[in-house]
Amino acid sequence: PNYILNCGLGILILIGAGVFVLIKSSWLLGGITNIFGSDNFVCVIASALICLIASMNDMSAPSISLEGKNIWIAQSLPVTSWQAIKAKRNCHLLLTCVPTLICSVCAVIALKPTVLGAVMMIAMPLVFVLFFSMIGLALNLKYPNLKWTNEITPIKQSMSVFVSMFGGWIYSILIMFAYYPLSGIISSEIYLIGAAAVTGLLCLALHSWLKKKGTKIFAEL
């Protein structure tokens, strides 16, 4: 229960945000236009905010540490280290992708972007969730805490949770504000394609690291 309550807070917030944007779409559009002077920023800001809320779901960040002293059980099961790591990643994806998709679809319905903008408002947050699921695992493999006596310790007080959550917020804010100097050069849709591509490349790098070095670290814990 502590794990879901503390690491899955984003699930409820994502769904709540989706409902909010449906109700307050005119207010939100007007606010973005007034602040930035153009509605070109709508897709980028909406996508970045969804990413920021999704980063509140940090199930993967303490997932290795939560094995505690019983990690030998996972290591002795008739599955490979990669399968064990993938299971933790997939748990994060299952619990985060669905509410993220719901929030994104609500934002698309409410904000009425272009077709390409709608596609990217859905795709960008989902790529971010994949990235965030793997960065949490990578950090937890680098900074595991298997000697806890209370499960709250790895959930609330571990380096991996702190770095992944604040890193997710910073990355989301970077996605938002990096478009400002580029807004006169490229459209928000093209910018989001580029942001999703960069995030996708980071996902490939993390996937490679987890499969090669991450599995070795897991086996030796």
- Sequence spans of domains, the chain: 2-220
**Range 153-159, long-range pairs (CB < 8 A, 24+ positions):** 154/62, 154/65, 154/66, 154/68, 155/2, 155/3, 155/6, 155/7, 155/62, 155/66, 156/6, 158/61, 158/62, 158/65
Q: With bands split at pLDDT 50, 70 and 90, how would you rate the model's confidence at 5? A: confident
Please give the pLDDT value at position 208.
97
The owner of tokens 């007080």 is: 157
pLDDT tens readout for residues 20-41: 999 998 898 888 888 877 778 9
Q: With bands split at pLDDT 50, 70 and 90, how would you rate the model's confidence at 197? A: very high
pTM metric for this prediction:
0.93
> What 3-state DSSP class applies to 186?
coil
pLDDT tens readout for residues 111-153: 999 999 999 999 999 999 999 999 999 999 999 988 888 888 8
Q: With bands split at pLDDT 50, 70 and 90, how would you rate the model's confidence at 74? A: confident
Q: What is the sign, positive or negative, of the torsion defined by CA atoms of 204, 206, 209, 210?
A: negative
Please give the pLDDT value at position 1.
62
Q: Count of alpha carbons within 13 Å of 158, Cβ hemisphere only?
A: 34
